[in-house]
């Protein structure tokens, strides 16, 4: 999925633009994987990746080269995801004035064309686990994904999420507990052994 950077407003000169594009190419697959795990939907993941890289490009002059670029991208993506969830919750209600003459409401359907990475990423998380992840709050889901799926250390997660290590530990613990409870409650036959593991 190419991202057009030409239209983005930025204080980035040509040298920084080339550096950014190189970093973007190197991290795109990881960013999409993280976005897919946050959203659980290929189309939403692509939108989140695009929004993330546009924000990153606009503020590339603030990037600290001492920080891993992927951590910086994950932080921007986490914030963009929370922003999108807030916007979505405000737009969720459909007014009666928007209903058609027969009382039906027109909804825009998502594009179901799969990206090349989608089948591989969907296979990483089975359906019950993805449903459980989607039911978590954004903060818990982000912390669990960064720790358990991306393999980041607690201090890296704290830096990425802009919070303390103690908060990260708490979110991971509570997120894992939510996952375990959801899976045990809804899929006891498949995940009955989780009671001892988590």
The answer to whether residues 34 and 120 belong to one domain is yes
- Give me the helices (H) in the chain, please: 14-39, 42-58, 69-91, 118-124, 127-134, 138-144, 154-161, 165-186, 188-191, 194-197
pLDDT at position 111: 38
Instruction: Give dist(CA 197, CA 192) in Å, integer.
Output: 10
What pLDDT was estimated at residue 148? 87
Of 124, 145, 176, the position where a domain reaches its end is 124
- Do 82 and 161 lie in one domain? The reply is no
Please check whether residues 132 and 81 belong to one and the same domain.
Answer: no
Task: Answer yes or no: is pLDDT of 48 > 70.
Answer: yes
Q: 132 near 183, Cβ under 8 Å?
A: yes
Average pLDDT value over all residues in the chain = 77
136 shares a domain with 82: no
User: Are residues 156 and 120 both part of a single domain?
Assistant: no
pLDDT of residue 174: 94
Does residue 62 surpass a pLDDT of 80? yes
Q: Structural domain tally of the chain?
A: 2
User: Residue 5: is it exposed, middle or buried by C-beta count within 10 angstroms (0-12/13-18/19+)?
Assistant: middle
pLDDT in tens, 80-123: 988 887 777 665 544 444 555 555 444 443 333 344 444 544 45
Please compute the mean of the pLDDT values over residues 21-36 and round it to a whole number: 92
- CATH number at 82 reads 1.10.1740.10
Same domain for 137 and 85?
A: no
Pair (30, 52) in one structural domain: yes
C-alpha to C-alpha distance for 170 and 183, rounded to whole angstroms: 20
pLDDT in the model for residue 121: 46
Q: Are residues 148 and 168 in the same domain?
A: yes
If asked whether residues 120 and 162 sit together in one domain, one would say: no
Annotate 35-47 with b (16+ C-beta within 10 A) or e (fewer): bbbbbbbbebbbb
Of 4 and 27, the structure prediction assigns the larger pLDDT to 27
pLDDT bucket at 197, cuts 50 / 70 / 90 = low
Residue 38 inside a domain? The answer is: yes
Q: Could you tell me which of 52, 39, 193 has the C-alpha nearest to residue 110?
A: 39
Q: How many CA atoms lie within 13 A of 75 on its CB side?
A: 18
At residue 95, the 3 state secondary structure works out as coil
Domain range holding 51?
A: 10-90+116-124
Distance of alpha carbon 160 from alpha carbon 78, whole angstroms:
8
pLDDT at site 112: 34
Residues 60 and 79 in one domain: yes
Do residues 85 and 140 both lie within one domain?
no
Residue 49's pLDDT band (cuts 50, 70, 90): very high
Same domain? 120 vs 145: no
Domain contains 120: yes
Q: What is the distance between the alpha carbons of residues 118 and 123, in angstroms, rounded to a whole number?
A: 8
Instruction: Say what percent of the chain tops pLDDT 90.
Output: 26
């Amino acid at each position: 999925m190419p991202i057009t950077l030409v239209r983005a407003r930025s204080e980035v000169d040509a040298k920084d633009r080339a550096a950014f594009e190189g970093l973007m190419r190197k991290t795109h697959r990881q960013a999409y994987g993280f976005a897919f795990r946050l959203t659980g939907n290929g189309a939403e993941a692509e939108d989140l990746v695009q929004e993330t890289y546009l924000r990153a490009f606009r503020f590339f002059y603030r990037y600290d080269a001492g920080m891993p670029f992927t951590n910086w991208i994950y932080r921007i993506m986490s914030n963009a995801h929370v922003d999108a969830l807030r916007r979505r919750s405000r737009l969720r209600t459909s007014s009666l004035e928007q209903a058609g003459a027969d009382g039906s409401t027109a909804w825009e359907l998502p594009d179901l064309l799969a990206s090349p990475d989608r089948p591989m990423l969907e296979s990483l998380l089975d359906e019950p686990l993805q449903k459980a992840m989607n039911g978590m709050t954004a903060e818990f889901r982000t912390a669990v994904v960064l720790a358990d799926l991306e393999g980041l250390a607690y201090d890296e997660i704290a830096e990425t999420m802009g919070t303390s290590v103690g908060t990260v530990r708490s979110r991971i613990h509570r997120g894992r507990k939510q996952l375990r409870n959801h899976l045990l409650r809804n899929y006891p036959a498949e995940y009955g052994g989780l009671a001892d593991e988590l």
